[in-house]
């Protein structure tokens, strides 16, 4: 099956992107704020108990993130003037209102992230998915005072209809498609602009620690190396660097120490734009939309 969401557009053929204030890299940090159900399996550190009901080991390991890890992350990001774009399960709003209040005080952006990461968005009918998306956005708006402009599916899951339904509900950017270093427009059936924004499945603590088996030191080096290359390329064509984080992983002290080292390194450079998802997409649409649409159409 061939999708029709966008045309192939090699970055080497695009008109160079100029970021605000002559920045080379837009740094986009995404804390995933998630709620997990006690009796359902999800991300696990130990497979031996992952199928049990209840699975106390893995459930309580994930629960560390909302009880401790996210608070350590918030202090660290505040120290380096980094405003998070939180990928927010809507159930977090009722389960952990203290996190919502703290994020509001830090002026974080809120990005829809489904209801819970115990339930993926797949194999559901269009009408049901439409209701789910609306409920998520309504809940987040009621809790935070702001309706999300962005969306990240739980585990980056979608149906064939998801981008269309998201745009119908006012979503302006989508982070599920991990295939670029710059935003680009996607085709949706109502013809309104929906932008893909660079998210990463590799510059991501889930895959780094649980799939690749990296140490915290290796994760730090990966962040530094990713930044160094994008920073050099950004001299002539601006790039977006996403850092995708989960408080139940990176929020542990022995890991967070190395995230802070990476933040210190990155923010010590000139020409780094500390941005939220909406700021990146709004600027990109204003400054480069015509260039991008023309290039995507060729």
Helices 70-79 & 97-105 angle (0-180, nearest 10): 0
pLDDT exceeds cutoff 70 at 297: no
CATH topology of domain 22-36+75-297: TIM Barrel (3.20.20)
Residue 219 and residue 211 in contact, taking contact as beta carbons nearer than 8 Å: no
- % the chain with pLDDT above 90: 91
Query: Which secondary-structure segment (H or E) carries 255?
Result: helix 253-267
The per-residue pLDDT for range 133-167, each reduced to its tens digit, is 999 999 999 999 999 999 999 999 999 999 999 99
**Proportion of the chain above pLDDT 70, given as a percent:** 96
Q: Residues 155-205: pLDDT tens digits?
A: 999 999 999 999 999 999 999 999 999 999 999 999 998 999 999 999 999
- Summarize pLDDT for 244-259 with one digit per residue, the tens: 999 999 999 999 999 9
Helix (H) or strand (E) segment spanning residue 277: helix 277-297
Give me the pLDDT at residue 210, please.
97
Mean per-residue pLDDT, 273-295: 82
Closest by CA position to 11, among listed 279, 227, 288:
288
For 194-238, how does the pLDDT look when each residue is reduced to its tens digit (9 = 90+)?
999 999 999 999 999 999 999 999 999 999 999 999 999 999 999
CA-CA distance, 278 to 42, in Å (whole number)? 29
Distance CA 28, CA 192 (A): 24
Cα angle 41-44-50, degrees, rounded to a multiple of 5: 50
Q: Where are the domains of the chain?
A: 22-36+75-297
């Amino acid at each position: 099956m061939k999708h029709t969401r966008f045309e192939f557009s090699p970055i080497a053929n695009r008109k160079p992107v100029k970021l605000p204030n002559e920045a080379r890299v837009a740094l986009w940090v995404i804390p995933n704020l998630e709620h997990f159900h006690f009796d359902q399996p999800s991300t696990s550190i130990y497979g031996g108990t992952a199928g049990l009901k209840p699975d106390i080991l893995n459930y309580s390991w994930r629960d560390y993130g909302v009880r401790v890890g996210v608070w350590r992350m918030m202090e660290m990001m505040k120290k380096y003037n980094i405003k998070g774009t939180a990928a927010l399960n809507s159930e977090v709003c009722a389960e952990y209102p203290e996190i919502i209040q703290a994020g509001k005080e830090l002026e974080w952006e809120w990005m829809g992230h489904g209801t819970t990461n115990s339930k993926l968005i797949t194999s559901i009918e269009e009408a049901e998915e439409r209701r789910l998306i609306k409920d998520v956005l309504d809940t987040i708006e009621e809790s935070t005072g702001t309706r999300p402009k962005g969306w990240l599916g739980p585990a980056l899951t979608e149906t064939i209809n998801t981008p269309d339904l998201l745009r119908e509900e006012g979503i302006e950017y989508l982070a599920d498609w991990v295939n670029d270093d710059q935003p680009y427009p996607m085709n949706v059936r109502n013809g309104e602009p929906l932008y893909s924004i660079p998210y990463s499945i590799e510059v991501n603590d889930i895959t780094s620690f649980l799939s690749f088996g990296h140490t915290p030191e290796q994760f730090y080096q990966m962040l530094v190396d990713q930044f160094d290359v994008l920073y050099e390329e950004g001299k002539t064509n601006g790039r977006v660097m996403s850092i995708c984080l989960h408080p139940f992983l990176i929020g542990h002290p022995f890991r967070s120490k190395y995230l802070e080292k990476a933040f210190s390194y990155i923010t010590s450079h000139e020409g780094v734009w500390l941005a939220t998802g909406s700021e990146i997409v709004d600027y990109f649409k204003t400054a480069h939309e015509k260039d991008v649409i023309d290039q995507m159409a060729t």
